[in-house]
Amino acid sequence: MARVYNFSAGPAVLPEEVLKEAAAEMLDYRGTGMSVMEMSHRSKAYQTIIEEAEADLRTLMNIPDNYKVLFLQGGAHQQFAMVPMNFMKNKVADYIITGQWAKKAYAEAKLYGTANAVASSADKTFSYIPDCSDLPISENADYVYICENNTIYGTKFWQLPDTKGKPLVSDVSSCFLSEPVDVTKYAMIYGGVQKNIGPAGVVICIIREDMITEDVIPGTPTMLRYKTHADAKSLYNTPPAYGIYICGKVFKWLLKNGGLEAMKEYNEKKAKILYDFLDSSELFKGTVEKKDRSIMNVPFVTGSEEMDAKFIKEATAAGFVNLKGHRSVGGMRASIYNAMPIEGVEKLVAFMAEFEAANK
């Protein structure tokens, strides 16, 4: 068995321990004589799986009782539509544009009402987070929307915007469970799990109860109403059952390893190794303003496309895979999510140093 160091932005690396456990339970889940994949989502065994998953997530994130936790399908992209369909009571929402994903969510919201771009970092290819301390928030905005960690560009909101009392909706797909969060600062937190939690096919929505109403945009399908899923505890129809089971295992893995405080410390340590190297290198450099650097996604370049390609090729051969930057920006990107071991980052940096020495 040869496991590589997988720096993919998503679907991404998962804890080996979790994969092994899932493998051991593949044919016979705890005496049921079947795989979780083959099991009714209404069965007793599955009921326990989904209830434990929710309870563990609540413990990890310290989610208050007045927030619902929903396990849905359709990826983050479906939330780009569900958010305006469910929340645009006044048909007005404010968006902060910090990259592709925020831009797509903003474009989708325009299908349902007036979406305003109240701040943007497009002027410098999204290499920073704009000052959000005094934004022109619309008086009748139903919510303010951010993409908290910008997977493609490698920026992170280290300070939440001042929404002037309006509900804050945040896409945390690529920083989910990477650090402790104060859930009460948000009306909704959501993310696709395939970046930092589990297999693609599950999106987790954490929504303050007062946001979940029947007053949705007319014509909103039953399946796209948060109330449908909140009332049915994520079992309105067949949920992404196997994916939720793996997420549940990752939650337990996180709890066992000290929870989100410990994760933050570990992630900061990993990111520092890489950023310190980038800041001292003469060949490689980071592309993001230092104060806004993500500790999950680290983009970097050499300044030459040929050199970038050579590096990616040699790194891949050496077992450091998926380092190619997003197709829209080029260069390299190392995604160093929770499950990336620190050795992976140390070895990558050692490899980069060797490459630099050989290509002076």
Ligand X SMILES: *Cc1c(COP(=O)(O)O)cnc(C)c1O
| C-beta of 138 vs 243, nearer to ligand X | 243
Q: Which of 56, 142, 171, 292 binds ligand X (CB under 6 A)?
A: 171
* 158 counts as catalytic: no
Tell me if 76 contacts ligand X by CB under 6 A. yes
Tell me if 243 contacts ligand X by CB under 6 A. no
* 123 counts as catalytic: no
* 171 counts as catalytic: yes
Q: Residue 144 carries which DSSP code?
A: E
Binding mask 106-145 for ligand X (x = CB under 6 A): ----------------------------------------
Tell me if 147 contacts ligand X by CB under 6 A. yes
Q: Which of 6, 7, 10, 119 binds ligand X (CB under 6 A)?
A: 10
Give the whole-angstrom CA distance, residue 217 versus residue 114. 13
Angle at the Cα of 282 (from 276 to 288), degrees rounded to 5?
55
Cβ neighbours of residue 119 under 8 Å, at least 6 residues apart? 96, 97, 130, 131, 132, 135, 161
E strand segments, the chain: 5-6, 67-72, 92-97, 114-120, 144-147, 149-150, 155-156, 168-171, 188-192, 203-208, 285-286, 297-301, 320-321, 332-335
Binding to ligand X, residues 194-233 (CB under 6 A): 195
CB count within 10 Å of CB 121 equals 21
- Retrieve residue 23's tokens: 């493998």
Q: Which of 77, 91, 164, 227 binds ligand X (CB under 6 A)?
A: 77
Tell me if 335 contacts ligand X by CB under 6 A. no
- Given the rule CB under 6 A, which of 20-28, 74-82, 177-185, 212-220 is the region that contacts ligand X? 74-82
CB count within 10 Å of CB 304 equals 12
- Retrieve residue 177's tokens: 């469970």
159, 155, 103: which is closest to 131 by C-alpha? 159
| C-beta of 61 vs 283, nearer to ligand X | 61
148, 155, 159, 162: which is closest to 124 by C-alpha? 155
Give the whole-angstrom CA distance, residue 302 versus residue 29. 49
With residue 60 as reference, give the H or E element that holds it: helix 44-61
CB of 101 to ligand X, least distance (A): 4
- Retrieve residue 236's tokens: 């309105």
Residue nearest to ligand X (CB): 75
Q: Which residues pair with 286 in a beta bridge?
A: 300
Tell me if 338 contacts ligand X by CB under 6 A. no
The count of residues interacting with ligand X (CB under 6 A) is: 12
Ordered DSSP codes for 67-78: EEEEEESSHHHH
CB of 77 to ligand X, least distance (A): 3
CB of 147 to ligand X, least distance (A): 5
- Catalytic choice (101, 253, 292, 324): 101
Q: Which of 98, 170, 173, 302 binds ligand X (CB under 6 A)?
A: 173
Give the whole-angstrom CA distance, residue 282 versus residue 321. 23
| C-beta of 36 vs 189, nearer to ligand X | 189
- Given the rule CB under 6 A, which of 38-46, 53-61, 69-77, 249-257 is the region that contacts ligand X? 69-77
Tell me if 192 contacts ligand X by CB under 6 A. yes
Tell me if 296 contacts ligand X by CB under 6 A. no
- Given the rule CB under 6 A, which of 48-56, 108-116, 167-175, 250-258 is the region that contacts ligand X? 167-175
| C-beta of 8 vs 138, nearer to ligand X | 8
Q: Which of 5, 7, 71, 101 binds ligand X (CB under 6 A)?
A: 101
Active site residues: 101, 171, 195
Binding site for ligand X (CB under 6 A): 10, 75-77, 101, 147, 151, 171, 173-174, 192, 195
